[in-house]
Structure 1
Amino acid sequence: MRKLIALLLVLGLAVFSGNFVYAQDGDTDTTATEQMEDTTTAAEAEVDPIEPESPAVDAGEEEAGAEQSGYQVLKKYFIDGDWRFMSFVLVCLILGLAFCIERIITLNIATTNTDKLLARIDEHLKSGDVQGAMEVCKSTQGPTASILYEGLKNADDGAEAVEKAIVSYGSVQMGLLERGLVWISLFIAIAPMLGFMGTVIGMIQAFDRIEAVGDLSPSVVAGGIKVALLTTVFGLITAIILQIFYNYIVSKIDGIVNKMEDASIALVDIMASNNIFKQ
């Protein structure tokens, strides 16, 4: 469910940004049209017929070209790169970002202040209230609290049983933290491959045109080479973006795992110091 929500969020942002840019472009075009009409009216009202009008038109065209938005540039290159190949790369980017956003949200929720949690557990264990310490862990979100809960639940069986329970349940929590990373890795690997496939197909099209025309001129091979280059560029950009998110997620998981291990060792020491284990 969280993955679906994240995917819908990404798609909604893409649609909203596109509508906003289109609306902004529409306002710009309306303003430019009004300015052109005012310029034409002023030129017609002038007495001197020798005054040229072409510089004003050229200046307006240059301003319109300079005001071209980044979204329009991306859309132009997307179309020039042939949507049949670029669409697959775009799907990889959208799905990869959806998995990345879902993992980042989940890991941020899973982050726990272990020092504060251990301090609350220590307060209950000093009075021998193991059940109260378990309730503290149950009311705290995150994998660290779940592991400590499993350790406290086996307190009656001794320190060795507590350590085994922590190790076993820690492996389960590790699997949950790393869920979805394999899909992100897949999109990182497949996006450049799709780009390279577009490159190969574009070059094949270019050579087919050379063979059909029988002349090696830039106009003959320009289309195929443009497809080849643009698909490769977009595939590499997609892989770079997803790789940055992937490395951030992996570092986040490593930080949570280190805190889990430190908290587990500290829990055993706290239980031993408060004589919780049965003799």
Structure 2
Amino acid sequence: MMLNFLLQVNPVTDTIANTAAAATDMDVSVTDNISYLDFLLKGGVMIYPIILLLFFCVYVIIERYLSIKKATKQDLNLVNDVKMQLKTGKLDNAIMLCSRENTASGNILRSGISIIGRPISEIESVMERTANVEIAQMEKGLSHLGLISGIAPILGFIGTIMGVIKIFHTISNTGNLNIQTISGGLYEKMISSGAGLVVGVVAYSAYHLFNMMIDAYSLQIQKQTLAIINVIQEPHGN
């Protein structure tokens, strides 16, 4: 009797196990077949402006990085060479050294050296204004990164909220409340939030890294300007 019961139970158990295994295999197959792009596009309509912001963010980062690296390129011997030419009274050579490479530091030093003979306060003022212009050129476009870092997460949250509203609207119309309906729709809509946060973090990080680079360069420029001003003042002190 017990043997017959066990024989009847075993086929049922095997059937359940086979069904579960088949469902697992199907889930793995679906997960393996879906591409990252298809998965991302499940985030809803707000995912499209977030993707556009990502491409624009990458473009700004590359463009600003190349521009800042070119402008802040340093010739370690430039200041010493210019000081040597100034001490020997060869202003034309000093200006030529500053113009040799189209860099921010060369432009700043040239602006002061080209008006030697005028009051020191005027020379300092000209060099300071030139430095402000060069730094403003470096900061050009960084505001776009700041804007993206604020907008992208908000767009992601809006996409998620829209998805949640749609889910509950469907539930209210159909009266079908089950965990599969809620979780299936909610995970798709939270994709937009995750994507928005990722884009925001990338833009925010790049914005502050570029500002750190510019601040460090600004301090270096101030030291170079002070060194040149001291050399210009030496003949007046003798």
By how many angstroms is 1:128 displaced? Answer: 0.4
Q: How do 1:53-64 and structure 2 match up within 5 A?
A: none
> For the residues of structure 2 that align with 1:188 and 1:209, how far apart are their CA atoms?
33
1:207 maps to 2:168: yes
Residues 115, 185 of structure 1: CA spacing in aligned structure 2 closer, same or farther, 3 A cutoff? Answer: same
Flag structure 2 segments of 5+ consecutive residues without an equivalent.
Answer: 1-17
Secondary structure of residue in 2 paired with 1:141: coil
Quote how far apart the aligned CAs of 1:261 are.
Answer: 0.8
Instruction: Give 1:141's match in structure 2, choosing from 89, 102, 121.
Output: 102
Please say if 1:219 is aligned against 2:174. Answer: no
**Identity across aligned pairs (percent)?**
20
**1:156 match: secondary structure:** coil
Asked if the contact 1:89–1:195 (Cα under 8 Å) also holds between the matched residues in 2, the reply is: yes
Further displaced range: 251-260 or 221-230: 221-230
1:102-113 correspondence runs (5 A): 102-113=63-74
SS at match of 1:184: helix
Question: Which range is displaced more, 247-256 or 97-106?
Answer: 247-256
1:178 partnered with 2:147: no
Structure 1 distance, partners of 2:53, 2:137, is 23
Deviations 1:191-238 (A, max 9, x none): 001000101100110110111111321233344312331110111111
Shift of 1:77: 2.0
Structure 1 residue runs of 5 or longer lacking an equivalent are 1-53
1:159 alignment counterpart? 120
State the distance in 2 between where 1:178 and 1:242 align. 14
In the alignment, which residue of structure 2 is the partner of 1:197? 158
- Other-structure match for 1:5: none
Give the corresponding residue for 1:97.
58
- SS of the residue 1:216 aligns to: coil
| Gap change, CA 1:67 and 1:77, over 3 Å in 2 | closer
Q: CA RMSD in A?
A: 2.6
Aligned twin of 2:148: 187
Q: Which amino acid aligns with 1:153?
A: S
CA contact (8 A) 2:57 2:145 kept: yes
**Secondary structure at the residue paired with 2:117?**
helix
How much has 1:138 moved relative to structure 2?
1.1
Deviation string 1:129-151 (CA, Å, 9 cap, x unpaired) is 11110111111222111111111
| Equivalent position of 1:74 in the other structure | 36
Find the aligned partners of 2:211 and 2:39 in 1 and give their Cα distance.
Answer: 33
Aligned residues: 215
Q: TM-score, normalised on structure 1?
A: 0.70
TM-score after normalising by structure 2: 0.82
Which amino acid is 1:172 matched to?
A: V
Q: Distance in 1 between matches of 2:117 and 2:32?
A: 71
Q: 1:122 to 1:230 in 2, by over 3 A?
A: same
Partner of 2:230: 269
Report the structure number with the largest CA radius of gyration: 2
